[in-house]
Amino acid sequence: MEKQSHLLLWKAVFVLIIIGLGFGIYAGSKSIDYTWRWERIPQYIINTEATTVRAPFDGTATIEKGNRLVVTSDYGDDPLVIKKFDNLLVGHGDLVFEGDPLVEVENWNIGPLTWGLVMTLQLSVVSLVFAVVIGLFAGLARISSNPALRYLSITYIELIRGTPLLVQIFIFYFFIGTVLDLDRFTAGVAALSVFTGAYIAEIVRSGIQSISPGQMEAARSLGMNYVQAMVNVILPQAFKRTLPPMAGQFINLIKDSSLVSVISITDLTKAGREVVSSTFAPFEVWFAVALMYLVLTGALSWAIQRLEKRLSASD
Amino acid sequence: MTNRTDKSIIQARNIEKIYPNGCHALKKVSLDINRGEVVVIIGPSGSGKSTFLRTLNQLETISDGTIHIDEVSLTDRKTNINKVREEVGMVFQSFNLFPHKTALGNVALSPIKVKKKPRAVAEQEGRELLKKVGLAERMNNYPSHLSGGQQQRVAIARALAMHPKIMLFDEPTSALDPEMVGEVLDVMKSLARDGMTMVVVTHEMGFAREVADRVVFMEDGELVFEESPERFFSSDNPRLQRFLGQVL
């Protein structure tokens, strides 16, 4: 009983602190006379404004049965047929001239923030795949008995971990990108995957080394060669053990992808900056951007937790 | 060459093992083992008996000497060691079951991956082997849900799944609780009755007395003494006497 009420008390303390923080943000914005304009944000995520279709030539509008608008040209162009629309702006038999509004179509346009989110997602997923491949091979090379492989791997890991990602992105884009004629996206993906690969290599190495040597001996004693033993026995176990640090690294990758905005890739962060300059609502935009990153990273960590749970069947 | 085909399936001659740190683990160890023979190796810890056993499937490389398994030289660079290891099963003190596979998965893995048997065939054979070691009810359990004795029996079935000609046992009962030692020894006894060639490193003197065709005593990296069990346990070799006085 005693214990129970204490737990409740501390949960209440937590809620109070969160409310306090929220109030702090509100009071802070009050003190600098900031006017919140949240209503400006949604259109940059999904734009529901109707688009107007205009006449491409002079002609006559006819409304056929089945609610089809057909505009026949005065000069023999192919007739324009519009099958779906929401608001009709011309009547049957009206003469229309080039540029006249004909109909309004209500459609959902994806706003720049969403495009940024999609770009961030693309960057992250592609980089993640390459980073895992690079990391796996670098990690295996790191524990190889072949000195050439081992030293190469150590050099790679130390070089990449010892320099800032921002500098690497510039090097990849301005130097390697120029030499190999890479576009922005490729250069960005290359920089991100090479950077993350170095960290994954260390995670892979520690994962493999955490598996008891007896496992390799047992696999080899059954006639498996090194590769078979790695693939069937060691790596599946190491994979499970390295999931938590891997999840952290993947989340870092999503967040680090914001740095490629410096080479003019319109990811979520760059989109945010652009939207700020057209809305003059920096607080709202950056909060919205932060929330969108949180959705990505939250979904990822949820998925990995699910995977961990599924793999724990053999525990 | 031909005169030994029926006899020695293992020929170890003048095995030397010196570790890079200078430790001299095996000194001129020679041992021939015949087909169908059960040889038990005993000796104090650090005597090199496990090291010697592990040289027989090259989990431990040797510094000098020669080993022939079924007339195939292990020291020959052209020998495919993986092929030899298919013929030589090994059971470890710490079981070394694959924790991410069920009992059946452990037994079927190598036949599927190494011998390229179809999964259905490998699993059918695996089920029969597990039945043979008394684990018909436990096939779909993960190792973490099995007792030590059960795990070791799965490990024996896993080694047998490759249809080896020789089985090596490296202190198979040393990590077990006393009440589980019997079940593992029973499986080993029935294996010996079926005519399997076995090399067993153990501290189970009862097993040595009952099952062994020959008992070997090692100390300080040397093979001191080898005899049939009757003569072995009644021997008055002073080094053996000292050891037996400590363990019995």
Average pLDDT over residues A294-309: 92
CB contact under 8 A, B59 and A232: no
Average pLDDT over residues A146-152: 95
Residues of A in Cβ contact (< 8 Å) with B172: none
All structural domains of chain A, each given as residue ranges with its CATH number in brackets, are: 48-109 (2.40.50.100), 112-264 (1.10.3720.10)
Closest chain A residue by Cα to residue B86: A223
Q: pLDDT digit string (tens) for B20-37?
A: 998 999 999 999 999 999
Token pair listed for A303:
């998925």
Q: pLDDT digit string (tens) for A267-281?
A: 999 999 998 888 888
Task: Say if CB B218 and CB B185 are below 8 A apart.
Answer: no
Residue A68's pLDDT is what?
82
Per-residue DSSP letter, A36: P
Token pair listed for A205:
């190495």
C-alpha B67/C-alpha B150 separation (Å) is: 33
Question: Residue B168: how many CA atoms within 13 Å on its side-chain side?
Answer: 25
Taking the CA atoms of chain A, what radius of gyration do you get in angstroms?
A: 29
Identify residue B92 by its one-letter amino acid code.
F
Instruction: Provide ipTM, 2 decimals.
Output: 0.90
CB contact under 8 A, B100 and A217: no
Give the minimum alpha-carbon distance from B87 to chain A in angstroms, rounded to a whole number.
8
- A227 touching B (Cβ < 8 Å): no
Look up the pTM and report it: 0.79
Best of A221, A227, A237, A311 to disrupt the B interface (most B CBs within 10 Å) is: A221
Residues of A in Cβ contact (< 8 Å) with B85: 220-223
C-alpha B12/C-alpha B156 separation (Å) is: 24
Sign of CA dihedral A27, A28, A34, A39: negative
Residue A2's pLDDT is what?
61
Chain-centre distance of CA A117, in angstroms?
6
Average pLDDT over residues A15-43: 87
Give the minimum alpha-carbon distance from B92 to chain A in angstroms, rounded to a whole number.
8
Q: pLDDT digit string (tens) for B107-135?
A: 999 999 999 999 999 999 999 999 999 99
DSSP string, A94-151: -EE-TT-EEEEE---EEPHHHHHHHHHHHHHHHHHHHHHHHHHHHHHHHT-S-HHHHH
Task: Say if CB A156 and CB A198 are below 8 A apart.
Answer: yes
- A237 touching B (Cβ < 8 Å): yes
Chain-centre distance of CA A41, in angstroms?
19
Token pair listed for B202:
């153990």
User: A85-94, A157-166, B211-220: which range is least confident on average?
Assistant: A85-94
CB contact under 8 A, A224 and B113: yes
Q: pLDDT digit string (tens) for A229-277?
A: 999 999 999 999 999 999 999 999 999 999 999 998 889 999 999 988 8
pLDDT-derived band at B3, boundaries 50, 70, 90: very low
Q: Please list, residue by residue across B133-148, b when 16 or more beta carbons sit within 10 angstroms of its beta carbon and e when fewer do.
A: bbbeebbebbbeebeb
CB contact under 8 A, A222 and B97: no
Closest by Cβ to B100, choosing from A221, A228, A236: A236
Task: Say if CB B42 and CB B216 are below 8 A apart.
Answer: yes
Give the minimum alpha-carbon distance from B29 to chain A in angstroms, rounded to a whole number.
22
Q: pLDDT digit string (tens) for A77-121?
A: 888 888 888 888 888 888 888 888 888 887 777 888 889 999 999
- A224 touching B (Cβ < 8 Å): yes
- Residue A73 or residue B68, greater confidence: B68
DSSP string, A230-246: IIIIIHHHHHHHHHHHH
Residues of B in Cβ contact (< 8 Å) with A222: 85-86, 89, 109-110, 114, 158-159, 162
